[in-house]
Structure 1
Amino acid sequence: MSKHYLSIEGVFKTFTRGNLSSQVLSDVNLGVERGEYISIIGHSGCGKSTVLNIVAGLIDPTEGCVILDGKEVRGPGPERSLVFQNHSLLPWLTVWENVEIAVNKVFGRSMSRAEREDWIRHNLKMVHMEHAMYKRPGEISGGMKQRVGIARALAMQPKVLLLDEPFGALDALTRAHLQDEVMRIQNDLQNTVIMITHDVDEAVLLSDRIVMMTNGPSATIGEVLKIDLPRPRERIELADDPRYNQYRQAVLRFLYEKQRNVAASA
């Protein structure tokens, strides 16, 4: 029995096509506590998305396993909801219907229709999208679409919320606003979050710990940095906080050294 709420244990992943094999991950081990916000960062090709997809149950590890709340992860499940960089909303459904389809799937037998409707409304309100519940994705902005995607994921009441570069396609102002919203929601719900990002400032601002991956192939966890900054966090105040800048420099130093090693071996 794992002592952690979520445990990635001895995970290897090799992709094979014909006679060619490529080992993407090599002996990845990570323990995550309940309510923790974890960011995974690293250069392109380091296996970040592969780790997330293994936790989501979308792909199986070649070796090792993932344990969540005492049970081994085997395939996708509503206890692990995933928000992609692309919002993945169904364009022919309204905002309300995009959340409703997930709620009906998970709670259709355990909630009455009135309870489900209240729950949908609650989650849209939490991301400030109740005003647009009858609009279709093509009628709202990119940031609004991501809010709906987050509402849909949270409406499933997952044990772990998985975020795959959820703000990567947004402009800087929208990204900052959504980061603040995610911090507020996570502070209110105390849910467990694993996020992939390429943004160092985003990782330091949002995370309790930052997991830094080595370069692929055969990538693994190089360092784990604990972010000891009080919550709630205000980005303007943190800009002048020496600890914030030390954490930021530590991540940049790690990434720079890995990039320099690649250049040296080329």
Structure 2
Amino acid sequence: MAYLHVSGVDMRFTRDGQTHPVLAGIDLQVERGEFIALIGHSGCGKSTVLNIVAGLLQPSSGGVILDGREVAAPGPDRAVVFQNHSLLPWLTVYQNVEIAVDKVFRDTRSKAERRDWVLHSLEMVNMGHALQRLPSEISGGMKQRVGIARALAMEPKVLLLDEPFGALDALTRAHLQDEVMRIQAELHNTVLMITHDVDEAVLLSDRIVMMTNGPAATIGQVLAVDLPRPRDRIALADDATYNHCRHEVLSFLYEKQRKVEPLRARPAPAPARQKTAA
């Protein structure tokens, strides 16, 4: 059985007496240590899938099994890094990670052990020099590093990344992508990441899960990225496998968008004229 299994998940929201389908028949099996990228057009339900795996949403039908146990609520075995760093502004860099470590390991590790683990987690993302700074005193990329350190410090079974680099400039984004690859190679985390960036998906992942457009979005195609690790973004620029994967994803997204645009552009029917009494 797969380490993480999203099984037959449907998601529907009801509002004002009307039911709106969001996801239909999502079925995904992820092996331990695998890096999966979820990609698709805006509104296709990627974040909904992630939130269901995180236990923040309950599916209308189907379910999620992680390491042989059903996911029914949020838990420290699934850590989420959002696009917004979500740091507590009144706590220092050290304290933002410490609060998560204390919550998870207070009963199993001594105070000294927890302190060493906080420091180790921050060193992993190269933030050991900024322990006493507040979030307002560091850059956006540094904040994301702290958010990643906090998530990793919980030693989750699955790391869930919701477009964690989407708000960053290109250079900072590239540096953090390299950091994530290095950390994943070191820790062998199981990672599920949402992205809109095709190059990011190909660079980081073992498989790319492409979702169809909503409503009732589902998995349209799964692409294995057969590239050896470690990966060098410069060397991959001319790699035939890299460019093939990139082309496959772009083709899928382009075809799905082309099917949607005519529907959006179609003019609404003119209202019927009301007959007046003679």
TM-score, normalised with respect to structure 1? 0.99
Matching residue within 40, 43, 46 for 2:41:
43
Instruction: For residue 20 of structure 1, report the CA deviation from its aligned partner.
Output: 2.1
- Identity percentage over the alignment? 71
- For the pair 1:59 / 2:87, whether they are aligned, the reply is no
- Rounded to whole Å, the distance in 1 between the matches of 2:228 and 2:139 is 32
Moved more, 13-22 or 176-185: 13-22
Matching residue within 136, 139, 143 for 2:137:
139
Give CA-to-partner distance per residue, 1:134-181, whole Å, 9 cap, x none.
000000000000000000000000000000000000000000000000
Q: Which residue of 2 aligns with 1:87?
A: 85
Matching residue within 220, 237, 240 for 2:238:
240
Which secondary structure does the structure 2 equivalent of 1:49 belong to?
helix
Give the aligned residue type for 1:233.
Answer: R
Give the aligned residue type for 1:230.
Answer: P
- Rounded to whole Å, the distance in 2 between the matches of 1:102 and 1:6 is 23
Q: Which runs of 5+ in 1 are unaligned?
A: none
- Rounded to whole Å, the distance in 2 between the matches of 1:170 and 1:107 is 32
- For the pair 1:168 / 2:139, whether they are aligned, the reply is no
Q: Which residue of 1 aligns with 2:113?
A: 115
- Rounded to whole Å, the distance in 2 between the matches of 1:231 and 1:48 is 26
- Rounded to whole Å, the distance in 2 between the matches of 1:100 and 1:121 is 9
Give CA-to-partner distance per residue, 1:188-227, whole Å, 9 cap, x none.
0001000000000000000000000000000000000000
Which secondary structure does the structure 2 equivalent of 1:204 belong to?
helix
Instruction: For residue 260 of structure 1, report the CA deviation from its aligned partner.
Output: 0.3
Q: Which residue of 2 aligns with 1:261?
A: 259
TM-score, normalised with respect to structure 2? 0.94
Give CA-to-partner distance per residue, 1:45-98, whole Å, 9 cap, x none.
100000000000000000000000000001100000000000000000000000
Which secondary structure does the structure 2 equivalent of 1:82 belong to?
strand
Q: Which residue of 1 aligns with 2:268?
A: none
State how 1:208-223 maps to structure 2 within 5 Å.
208-223=206-221
State how 1:91-106 maps to structure 2 within 5 Å.
91-106=89-104
| Root-mean-square deviation over aligned CA pairs | 0.5
Matching residue within 217, 226, 229 for 1:228:
226
Larger radius of gyration: 2
Question: Which runs of at least 4 in structure 1 moved beyond 6 Å after TM superposition?
Answer: none
Q: Which runs of 5+ in 2 are unaligned?
A: 265-278
Instruction: For residue 21 of structure 1, report the CA deviation from its aligned partner.
Output: 1.7
Which secondary structure does the structure 2 equivalent of 1:103 belong to?
helix
Which secondary structure does the structure 2 equivalent of 1:15 belong to?
strand
- Rounded to whole Å, the distance in 2 between the matches of 1:207 and 1:264 is 32
- Rounded to whole Å, the distance in 2 between the matches of 1:262 and 1:194 is 27
Moved more, 69-78 or 10-19: 10-19
Instruction: For residue 264 of structure 1, report the CA deviation from its aligned partner.
Output: 2.7
